[in-house]
Copies of this chain bind each other. A is one copy, B any other.
Amino acid sequence: MTPHIEIDNAVSAAQAAAPHWAKSDGPRRADLLNALATGLEAERAELVALADRETKLGLPRLNGELDRTCFQLRRFADYARDGGPFACHADPAVAGPPPQGRPQITRVRVPLGPVAMFSASNFPFAFSVLGGDTASALAAGCPVVVKAHPAHPLLSRAVHQLTLRVLASLDLPAGLVGHIDEDSFEAGMALVAHPGIRAVAFTGSLSGGQALSKQAASRPRPIPFYGELGSINPVVVLPGALEQSLDEKARLLAGSVTQGAGQFCTSPGLVLMLDTPESHAFARALAREVAAVVLHPMLSPRISEGYKAGVRSLAAEDSVEVLAEPGWEHEKSSGFVGVTSASAFLDKERLRHEVFGSSCLCVLAKSMAQIHAVLEEVAGSLTVTLWGAEEESAENRLLLRTAQSIAGRVLFKGVPTGVAVTPAQHHGGPWPASTQALFTSVGLAAADRFLRPLALQDAPDWVSQSQGVPA
């Protein structure tokens, strides 16, 4: 195996920093997270300009994403200061023989140790160097080794330099947030295999995620791999939703399909409707609205090529009627909208592939049973949106049951893009939406991924008075 000196150095430094950080208290962790947010804001203009040069996502979006990143850092600061990682549960001793009789037991949580974090192409701030994975891992008491994404290497390096300055200003070791520039699949595999790494957080493609997930499971000592790999995000539009404001709803959905050139894990790639005249009208209205939006360039040539190939594959299907398609020959392109039948969707495996980018397939079903069948075939998705299910009915109840069996989040209004950072959020879902469906990568529960429960039995005072702060 090729030596990876950069990886070895970063992981060694993270291992050296781990015990110190594991026993840091909430205020100490909060100070770091808040200082990182302040640091990002202080360098906002330069960082956003650099991000725009590398990703072409535009200043408004990137400023908004930086806001979100600082918001996340500060919420995890509050979480740490309020004792979230140190929450413990104590059972008093009960005299007598078991099973009623028992010793004193306190359950606390210990940080797992160095976390390998793979930056996302599509969130240069919010899921990269100082993004949600890093914020939650630091709040949990774990060092992080960041794998930069090749779509924004200079930004990654700049944010890491800022991080090092903040760490130094707080007398914290540089190893607390390491940074790997090396851009190769092999480097990623070596990082996940490194014995000093104790967990992996990954946002990216299905193929890359699957390979890294197998690598994590094949280690002599397997480690948790928290991957978010892909999602089609079906939007079910029931007849009731099309009774009024059809054009307005088409515009709302088109905004979600085209937002960020469709480069969101929650971008809606499938609109599922009963085959009615109104549904056809909605599909055409959606196509009109999508065609009217000029997309900004995509994040990288590789992503752009993948998008083109995916759209061409959909358009080439006999069963797919193209309603809007990107003007490839023009400088400025728009998104793709097609329409097909539920039977075709169920028949043809390649209609079900996620097309990363602004692409939406309208699937028309002959019956509610077919709608259920399509959702069951999708099987794992970050979100399912149900429009027109406001009233209680046996049919809506059944639909919610199917939706919740395949999704990490079910929406009854609005669109799936724009994931709120709230304590109750759950950003995950059955495979392949995420590799560990019981955990979330957005919201405060994201810290749970990096905290391992530990029972302390009959602990002496010096231990039980530590209030959940590990030794």
Contact yes or no, B462 A391, CB < 8 A: yes
Cα–Cα distance between A414 and B224 once the two chains are bound (Å): 32
Contact residue among B23, B90, B105, B471 (Cβ-Cβ distance under 8 Å from A420): B105
Contact status of A99 and B421, CB under 8 A, knowing A221-B379, A438-B452, A455-B408: yes
Contact status of A457 and B404, CB under 8 A, knowing A99-B421, A420-B102, A425-B107: no
Produce 1/0 per residue, A414-445, CB < 8 A to B. 10001011111111101110011110100001
Residue of B nearest to A448 (CB): B438
Shortest distance between the CB of A387 and any CB in chain B (Å): 11
Cα–Cα distance between A431 and B405 once the two chains are bound (Å): 30
Cα–Cα distance between A401 and B452 once the two chains are bound (Å): 14
Contact yes or no, A471 B397, CB < 8 A: yes
Contact yes or no, B68 A413, CB < 8 A: no
- Residues in B with CB closer than 8 Å to A102 are 420-422
Say whether A91 faces chain B, with CB atoms less than 8 Å apart.
yes
Contact status of A425 and B470, CB under 8 A, knowing A431-B222, A460-B390: no
Contact status of A424 and B107, CB under 8 A, knowing A19-B401, A221-B431: yes
Residue of B nearest to A23 (CB): B401
Say whether A183 faces chain B, with CB atoms less than 8 Å apart.
no
- Residues in B with CB closer than 8 Å to A401 are 19, 22-23, 470-471
CB-CB contacts below 8 Å: A438-471 with B = 438, 440, 445, 448-449, 451-463, 470-471
Residue of B nearest to A113 (CB): B405
Contact yes or no, B68 A99, CB < 8 A: yes
- Residues in B with CB closer than 8 Å to A213 are 217, 222
- Residues in B with CB closer than 8 Å to A435 are 222
Residue of B nearest to A110 (CB): B404
Total identical chains: 2
Say whether A67 faces chain B, with CB atoms less than 8 Å apart.
yes
- Residues in B with CB closer than 8 Å to A454 are 404, 407-410, 426
Shortest distance between the CB of A456 and any CB in chain B (Å): 6
CB-CB contacts below 8 Å: A47-65 with B = 64
Contact residue among B71, B400, B455 (Cβ-Cβ distance under 8 Å from A471): B400
Contact yes or no, B420 A440, CB < 8 A: no
Say whether A169 faces chain B, with CB atoms less than 8 Å apart.
no
- Residues in B with CB closer than 8 Å to A113 are 405
Residue of B nearest to A464 (CB): B412
- Residues in B with CB closer than 8 Å to A436 are 224
Cα–Cα distance between A421 and B105 once the two chains are bound (Å): 10
Shortest distance between the CB of A114 and any CB in chain B (Å): 12
Cα–Cα distance between A432 and B422 once the two chains are bound (Å): 35
Cα–Cα distance between A458 and B411 once the two chains are bound (Å): 6
Say whether A370 faces chain B, with CB atoms less than 8 Å apart.
no
Cα–Cα distance between A221 and B380 once the two chains are bound (Å): 9
Produce 1/0 per residue, A198-223, CB < 8 A to B. 00000000000000011001000111
Cα–Cα distance between A432 and B107 once the two chains are bound (Å): 21
Which 5 pairs, one residue from A and one from B, show the smallest C-beta to C-beta distance? Answer: A392-B462, A71-B99, A102-B420, A426-B455, A413-B458
A213-B217, A213-B222, A413-B458 given; name 6 further pairs at CB < 8 Å.
Answer: A392-B461, A398-B471, A401-B470, A425-B455, A430-B452, A437-B452
List residues of chain A with CB under 8 Å of any chain B CB. 19, 22-23, 64, 67-68, 71-72, 89-91, 98-100, 102-103, 105-107, 110, 113, 213-214, 217, 221-224, 379-380, 389-392, 396-398, 400-401, 404-405, 407-414, 418, 420-428, 430-432, 435-438, 440, 445, 448-449, 451-463, 470-471
| 25 sample A-B contacts, Cβ–Cβ < 8 Å, listed by A number | A22-B401, A68-B99, A89-B424, A90-B424, A91-B425, A98-B421, A99-B420, A102-B421, A103-B413, A105-B420, A107-B426, A110-B405, A217-B217, A221-B430, A221-B432, A390-B460, A407-B454, A409-B454, A410-B455, A414-B458, A426-B455, A427-B455, A437-B452, A438-B448, A445-B453
